[in-house]
C-alpha cells in the first residue's frame, strides 16, 4: 500500500514562513555554500527537494538569476509558490531528471539523498550526474554517521534510510560518474563571535560545543589511530562537491 505521508508533521517542527525564520535560513545557506558557488550569475541552477525554498531565496539574494526547484511535497510546493519561487511539483525525481540530460550547470541536493531508498540511491545520483552539463557541479549535504549525534540524526526523521561517512558518500558519488569529489564538514552551530561571547548562554554553549567535539575527536584517535582519527569529519552533516567530467 502506497500511503501518502504528510511531511509537514516533521518539517514544521523546525521551519516556518515567518520573515525572521526565512531570513535566518537564507543567511545559513549563504554561509554554507557561498564559497563553492561559481561566479557566473547566469548559471542554470536546480535545487532538488527544495523544501520551502530557503536555499533558492539565498541564491536569488546573491544575484543568481536562473534558479528553480523541484519538490514532491504539496505543502512545501505551495510555500515556495507563495514566495514567488519557481518550483515544479514532481511525483518522481528520477523520472524528471531522466528527461533533463545536460540541462543544468549547478545542482543542489541538500538533505535529500538520505530519503531515497538504498536500492535507488545510485540510480538517483546517476540521474543527477546525467542532468548536469559537462563540467557542471553538484553540491549535496547528508547526515554524518561520524557525528556524536549520528544515531539521533539518522533516526530523527522516519523517512531517513541511511546516514553517510565521508568514505561511503565518496563511493556513491564516484560510482555515479562524478569526479573532483570533495567532502567537508558543515556546521549548524557557529562561533558566536565577540558580541555573542559577552552573553552567558552563547558563551557556555560555545564552550560545551568545543569540549564535546574535542572529546569526540579524542575518541576517534583512540579507536582508529592518529592518522585516521585526526581527519574524520565530525559535524552533524557532511557537505560534498562533485563535478561532471568536461567534454574532451
What pLDDT sits at residue 9? 87
Q: Residue 4: is it exposed, middle or buried by C-beta count within 10 angstroms (0-12/13-18/19+)?
A: exposed
Q: Which single residue is written with the C-alpha cell 582519527?
A: 229
Beta bridge partners, 69, equal 47, 87
Give pTM, 2 decimals.
0.94
Same domain, yes or no, for 25 and 140? yes
Beta-sheet strands, E only, within the chain: 44-48, 66-71, 87-89, 104-110, 132-143, 179-186, 237-243
3 belongs to a structural domain: no
What pLDDT sits at residue 1? 43
Same domain, yes or no, for 150 and 204? no
pLDDT > 90? residue 193: no
Give the pLDDT mean for 165-185: 98
Q: For residue range 216-236, list pLDDT tens digits in order.
A: 999 999 999 999 999 999 999
Alpha-carbon separation of residue 106 from 75, 141, 168, 175 (angstroms) = 25, 14, 22, 19
Q: For residue range 54-76, list pLDDT tens digits in order.
A: 999 999 999 999 999 999 999 99
Q: Which single residue is written with the C-alpha cell 541552477?
A: 45
What pLDDT sits at residue 11? 87
pLDDT > 80? residue 101: yes
Give the pairing of strands 44-48 and 104-110: parallel
Domain count, the chain: 2
Same domain, yes or no, for 118 and 199? no
Same domain, yes or no, for 133 and 203? no
Using CA atoms in the order 104, 109, 112, 118, what is the torsion angle rounded to 10 degrees? 70
Same domain, yes or no, for 54 and 89? yes
Same domain, yes or no, for 179 and 201? no
What pLDDT sits at residue 197? 62
* Mean pLDDT of the chain, nearest integer: 94
Amino acid at each position: 500500500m502506497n500511503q501518502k505521508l504528510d511531511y509537514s508533521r516533521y518539517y514544521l517542527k523546525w521551519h516556518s514562513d515567518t520573515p525572521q525564520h526565512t531570513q535566518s535560513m537564507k543567511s545559513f545557506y549563504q554561509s554554507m555554500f557561498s564559497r563553492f558557488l561559481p561566479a557566473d550569475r547566469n548559471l542554470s541552477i536546480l535545487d532538488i527537494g527544495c523544501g520551502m525554498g530557503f536555499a533558492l531565496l539565498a541564491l536569488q539574494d546573491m544575484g543568481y538569476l536562473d534558479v528553480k526547484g523541484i519538490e514532491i511535497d504539496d505543502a512545501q510546493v505551495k510555500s515556495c509558490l507563495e514566495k514567488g519561487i519557481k518550483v515544479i511539483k514532481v511525483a518522481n525525481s528520477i523520472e524528471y531528471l531522466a528527461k533533463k540530460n545536460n540541462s543544468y550547470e549547478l545542482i543542489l541536493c541538500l538533505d535529500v539523498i538520505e530519503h531515497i531508498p538504498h536500492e535507488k540511491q545510485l540510480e538517483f545520483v546517476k540521474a543527477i550526474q546525467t542532468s548536469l552539463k559537462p563540467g557542471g557541479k553538484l553540491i549535496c549535504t547528508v547526515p554524518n554517521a561520524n557525528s556524536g549525534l549520528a544515531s539521533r540524526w539518522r533516526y530523527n526523521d522516519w523517512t531517513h534510510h541511511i546516514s553517510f561517512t565521508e568514505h561511503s558518500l565518496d563511493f556513491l558519488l564516484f560510482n555515479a560518474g562524478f569526479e573532483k569529489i570533495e567532502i567537508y564538514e558543515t556546521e549548524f552551530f557557529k562561533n558566536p563571535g565577540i558580541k555573542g561571547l559577552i552573553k552567558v548562554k552563547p558563551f557556555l554553549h560555545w564552550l560545551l560545543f568545543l569540549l564535546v567535539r574535542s572529546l569526540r575527536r579524542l575518541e576517534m584517535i583512540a579507536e582508529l589511530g592518529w592518522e585516521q582519527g585526526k581527519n574524520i569529519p565530525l559535524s552533524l552533516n557532511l557537505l560534498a562537491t562533485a563535478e561532471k567530467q568536461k567534454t574532451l
